[in-house]
Amino acid sequence: MKTHPIIILLLLVFAAGCSKQVGAGGTVVFSDDGSPVTQGIVIFSTPTFQSRSDIDEQGRFTMGSFGAVDGLPPGTYNVAIISTDGADTPYSFIDPKYSNKNTSGLEVTVDKTVKNLEFKVDRNPKPKPVKK
């Protein structure tokens, strides 16, 4: 079977574009005692790109573009972090300001592989509602 030269060229361009991905990951911890945020998502955004990663039980996350952990295009990202209890009326474990990239105050530049990012977030200042 003969492969068409255009297909080969497209595959080479795609592979070259993907090779520019850089790894990014780290942890999300509470600012008051350094304990991990044990559930939620981290969202990295630029005006033209967005990626998200789940936070595991140890507070760790690893960003990806096409796959779960294949890295990101280099750039400066605004960061949002969402951590809720998943109830019908969700309660945020962290200050709700972090759930919006414009109010979180979190930004990171990814220009080389970084696996030790640490985001320190404040706890939600409002106590969890008690169900009656």
pLDDT reported for residue 119: 97
Non-local (6+) Cβ contacts of 55 within 8 A are: 28, 37, 38, 39, 40, 41, 42, 61, 81, 83
Domain 23-121: state its class.
mainly beta
Most confident of 32-41, 84-93, 121-130: 32-41
Segment 30-46, tens digit of pLDDT: 999 999 999 999 999 99
pTM over 0.75: yes
Nearest 10 degrees: CA dihedral of 74, 106, 37, 32?
140
Integer Rg of the chain from CA: 18
Domain boundaries, the chain: 23-121
pLDDT reported for residue 132: 66
Alpha-carbon distance values, 86 to 32, 41, 83 (Å): 23, 12, 9
Tokens found for residue 63: 């960003």
